[in-house]
Amino acid sequence: MAVKVRIPTPLRKLTEGKDEVTAEGTTVREVIDDLEKRYPGIKERICEEDGSIRKFVNLYVNDEDIRFKLNLDTELKEGDELSIIPAIAGGMC
């Protein structure tokens, strides 16, 4: 099943500059694994070595933070949108 994934600027070097890509999977975990196959190197930016999501990355399914759902096991439906959003904004000192 295909879902749309929105990519933040710091990761677009890995997605050939695309701000939106398509990936397959029925859960967030499967979609991340599929993204890694399509764009090698992207998973380690999003996930820790043990597979959990990095503290400074937020994943939203449509408008909901997956931490308030089933985390990586959150299920996805056809047409859902997964957004990878940095937890912070840069540029201050």
Partner 1 sequence: MDTRVAGADYRTRSGGVREAVGSVIDLVGNTPLVNIRNVTRDIPPGVEIYAKLEGYNPGGSVKDRPALKMIEDAEKAGRLTKDKIILDSTSGNTGIAYAWIGAHKGYRVELVVPGNVSEERKKMLSAYGAKVIFSDPLEGSDGAIRLCWKLYVDNPEKYCKLDQYNNPSNPLAHYETTGPEIIAQTEGRITHFVASIGTGGTIMGTGRRLKEFRKDIKVIAVEPDSPLHGLEGLKHMASSIVPGIYHEEELDDKIPADTEESYEMTRRLAKEEGILAGQSSGAALLGALRLARTLKEGLIVVMFPDGGDKYLSTRVWED
Residues forming the site for partner 1 (CB under 8 A)? 6-11, 13, 19, 45-46, 54-58, 83-93
Cβ atoms of 80 and 29 closer than 8 Å: no
Rounded Cα–Cα distance for residues 39 and 55 (Å) = 22
20 vs 73 by CB, closer to partner 1: 20
Helix (H) or strand (E) holding 44: helix 42-46
Q: How far is the CB of 11 from partner 1 (least distance, A)?
A: 6
10 vs 26 by CB, closer to partner 1: 10
27 vs 58 by CB, closer to partner 1: 58
Cβ atoms of 90 and 8 closer than 8 Å: no
Q: How far is the CB of 60 from partner 1 (least distance, A)?
A: 10
